[in-house]
């Protein structure tokens, strides 16, 4: 009886019309997801509670001291504890394996980074993913900023060595984790958020699916459609990297994959749920297609803007059509996406990508590490990231950065 009630509860919260049927096929994983809907991130939530109860403590001072645990003790003992815990990797973490995963990821970095749009669309199809944006009244605001913020985080978190404790990627991941905690606090305090009806905002289950399905498995599947091939060792190393990223982000270990097959299973389960995107999903997708990209040919500002204006009427329908390749047809239509012959551009690009892979395999592009570093710096330069900068967190990072990863 308890399991049936829990399933009904989870179905209501997520909007999944077939939760019980999926649970019958994957009982252990789906029951864990059901429980995760009611759990936020207690260590990060404790930091926000500390700030709220400590005279003189501020969000900006916390962000400024995030890479200096000794100073954090004076601002928030809970924050100092969180940072020290995140700097003490679990027994399963292997830095060399994570670095190997980062280098495998970045061998195709400039192409891999283009899969970010699909990761965002993946989240937009689920009501629970977008409800915090709806509740804050900022559904389609700052779309370009949201894309750029997410791209910068993914770049820093997956850059070889930068997710090690103290690195830029590690600090940025902690910053976003705390932003999520601040948003949970804000929604509960100011927006009449109903945990019973909607689950805890930015809960463990949505965090699991964002990391594992949205940022790990889906980009690899999209890359495979484009012609990119990873070895089994590459896939396991990349999975290890994202498992570590998820752990630092505050996702419970039991919800993180132990290998790529496990990650694929989590993604497959998420695809089995029959969701009905709400009208806000269509608003978000439309905003992404209207303002989620820029044509950047490296030209002077006004000239580049002119090229973007001329290219946009073609790029918008192209992005919309291509995106339908990796979204269920019924869901795609409900989100305002339509499949057209333009989606075959991926088929046309595949021989080019495979030719590049053959050239790389022959060593004509340099060593694999050299290729990865070249790709990383190309993307980092476009995003305005200084990979050689001293690790740190911008002191003015605010609650508006919910858009970074939501």
Q: What is the DSSP string of 47-92?
A: HHHHHHHSTT--HHHHHHTTT-HHHHHHH-HHHHHHHHHHTS--TT
Q: Which of 243-252, 320-329, 378-387 has the highest mean pLDDT?
A: 243-252
The residue with greater pLDDT, 292 or 295, is: 292
Query: 174: domain range?
Result: 93-404
pLDDT tens readout for residues 123-146: 888 888 888 888 876 666 788 888
**Residue 399 clears pLDDT 60, i.e. is over it:** no
**Residue 403 clears pLDDT 70, i.e. is over it:** no
> DSSP 3-state assignment of 27?
helix
**Residue 279 clears pLDDT 90, i.e. is over it:** no
> DSSP 3-state assignment of 306?
helix
**Residue 35 forms part of a structural domain:** no
pLDDT tens readout for residues 165-196: 999 999 999 999 999 999 999 999 888 899 99
**Residue 56 forms part of a structural domain:** no
Given pLDDT bands bounded at 50, 70 and 90, which one contains residue 404?
A: very low
**Residue 308 forms part of a structural domain:** yes
pLDDT tens readout for residues 108-119: 888 777 788 888
Count of the separate structural domains present in the chain:
1
**Residue 145 forms part of a structural domain:** yes
**Residue 128 forms part of a structural domain:** yes
The CA distance from 50 to 12, in Å, is: 33
The CA distance from 397 to 403, in Å, is: 12
pLDDT tens readout for residues 31-80: 999 999 999 999 999 999 988 888 777 888 888 888 887 888 888 899 99
**Which residues are CB-neighbours of 62 under 8 A, at least 6 positions away?**
47, 51, 72, 75, 76, 79, 178
Whether the CA torsion 143, 148, 149, 150 is positive or negative: it is: positive
**Residue 327 forms part of a structural domain:** yes
pLDDT tens readout for residues 301-330: 677 677 767 777 788 888 889 889 988 888
**Residue 253 clears pLDDT 90, i.e. is over it:** yes
**Which residues are CB-neighbours of 112 under 8 A, at least 6 positions away?**
105, 106, 219, 223, 228
**Residue 20 forms part of a structural domain:** no
Q: What is the pLDDT of residue 57?
A: 76
Mean pLDDT of 354-367: 89
**Residue 387 forms part of a structural domain:** yes
């Amino acid at each position: 009886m308890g399991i049936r009630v829990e399933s009904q509860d989870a179905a209501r919260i997520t909007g999944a019309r077939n939760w019980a049927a999926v649970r019958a096929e994957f009982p252990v994983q789906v029951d864990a997801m059901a429980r995760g809907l009611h759990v936020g991130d207690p260590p990060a939530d404790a930091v926000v509670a500390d700030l709220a109860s400590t005279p003189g403590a501020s969000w900006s001072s916390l962000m400024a001291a995030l890479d200096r645990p000794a100073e954090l003790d004076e601002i928030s003992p809970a924050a100092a504890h969180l940072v020290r815990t995140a700097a003490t990797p679990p027994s399963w973490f292997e830095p060399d394996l994570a670095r190997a995963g980062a280098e495998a990821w970045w061998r195709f970095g400039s192409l891999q980074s283009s899969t970010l749009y699909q990761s965002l669309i993946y989240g937009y199809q689920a009501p629970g993913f977008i409800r915090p944006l709806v509740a804050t009244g900022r559904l389609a605001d700052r779309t370009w900023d949201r894309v750029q913020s997410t791209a910068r985080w993914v770049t820093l978190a997956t850059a070889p060595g930068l997710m090690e404790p103290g690195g830029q990627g590690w600090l940025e991941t902690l910053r976003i984790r705390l932003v999520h905690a601040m948003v949970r606090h804000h929604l509960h305090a100011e927006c009449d958020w109903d945990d019973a009806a909607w689950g805890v905002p930015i809960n463990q289950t949505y965090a699991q699916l964002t990391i594992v399905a949205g940022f790990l498995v889906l980009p690899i599947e999209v890359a495979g459609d484009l012609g990119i091939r990873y070895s089994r060792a590459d896939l396991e190393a990349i999975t290890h990297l994202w498992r570590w990223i998820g752990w630092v982000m505050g996702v419970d270990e039991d919800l993180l994959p132990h290998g790529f097959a496990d990650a694929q299973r989590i993604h497959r389960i998420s695809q089995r749920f029959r969701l009905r995107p709400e009208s806000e999903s269509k608003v978000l997708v439309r905003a992404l297609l209207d303002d989620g990209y820029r044509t950047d040919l490296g030209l002077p500002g006004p000239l580049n803007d002119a090229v973007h204006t001329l290219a946009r009427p073609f790029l918008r329908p192209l992005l919309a059509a291509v995106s339908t390749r990796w979204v269920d047809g019924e869901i795609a239509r409900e989100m305002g996406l339509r499949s057209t012959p333009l989606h075959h551009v991926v088929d046309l690009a595949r021989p080019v990508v495979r030719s590049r892979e053959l050239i790389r395999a022959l060593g004509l592009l340099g060593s694999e590490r050299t290729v990865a570093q070249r790709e990383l710096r190309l993307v980092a330069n476009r995003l305005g990231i200084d990979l050689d900068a001293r690790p740190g967190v911008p002191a003015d990072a605010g609650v508006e950065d919910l858009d970074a990863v939501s």
